[in-house]
Amino acid sequence: MKEFSNTYIFTFSSIMVIVVALLLALAALQLKPLQDKNIEIEKKQNILASINVPATAENAEELYDKYITESYVVNTTGLRVDGIDAFGVDMKAELSKPSIERALPVYVSTLSNGENAFVLPLRGKGLWGPIWGYISLNKDLNTIYGVSFDHQGETPGLGAEIKESWYQQKFIGKKIFQDSTTFVSIKVLKGIVDPANPHAVDGISGGTITSKGLEAMIDSCLVLYKEYYFINRK
């Protein structure tokens, strides 16, 4: 076997590392705009799903422009904050801030029947990683119009079912206020839940921790908008 000097080994590895780093940096820079676009389209698809408008990657932007007529940011006192782009707000970063500094996005959609629905972002923890989604409320800011949930790595067939429409449909029509003033959120319960119960849905058998995470996520994110509901409900 050929012998190589230490100098050769050092030079060889240095050149290799520099060449590889340059190539990868170049590729990452070139592909970044396309990747960002994909992430943006996915976000729009999720927002549309929460107002029960199914969108493909191709028509998501067109449908988003059609249905989402306004978006703005509010703070925890329910007042509008100017100068922040709602679409660009990262909920993960906002939730780690102190409550008063949080920027909370609201997307206003105009539905086919001319009424408004208000889409609010959610973010929480599942069993294996983060779960997130959007929830849309009718103009009474109490009744759920639609939801969309997504997850990073919940168990397929169990916790991952939160992403499926058969499960998400259970949330439609539920109410987050008990009477007009008491915020109760939505409970995700074990066993058979009376479909007439306005504040509870079935959990997923075998997906208890994901179900609990979902309940906590909905509660902790929707409660942030409490003042906003009081100010804006019609």
Contacts to other proteins by CB under 8 A: 1-2, 4, 8-9, 12-13, 16-17, 20, 23-24, 27-28, 31, 34-35, 38-39, 41-42, 57, 152-153, 156-157
Cα–Cα distance between 119 and 136 in angstroms, integer? Answer: 4
Closer residue to other proteins, CB minimum distance, 25 or 231 = 25
User: Tokens for 48?
Assistant: 């549309």
Closer residue to other proteins, CB minimum distance, 125 or 233 = 125
Sorted by sequence, the CB contacts under 8 Å of residue 214 that are 6+ apart come out as 124, 126, 131, 149, 162, 188
Whole-number minimum distance, CB 63 to other proteins, in Å?
A: 17
Closer residue to other proteins, CB minimum distance, 13 or 77 = 13
Closer residue to other proteins, CB minimum distance, 10 or 69 = 10
Whole-number minimum distance, CB 152 to other proteins, in Å?
A: 8
Collapsed DSSP state (helix, strand, coil) of residue 87 = helix
Angle at the Cα of 24 (from 20 to 27), degrees rounded to 5? 145
Whole-number minimum distance, CB 49 to other proteins, in Å?
A: 14
Cα Rg for the chain, rounded, in angstroms? 22
Cα–Cα distance between 229 and 234 in angstroms, integer? Answer: 9
Whole-number minimum distance, CB 201 to other proteins, in Å?
A: 21
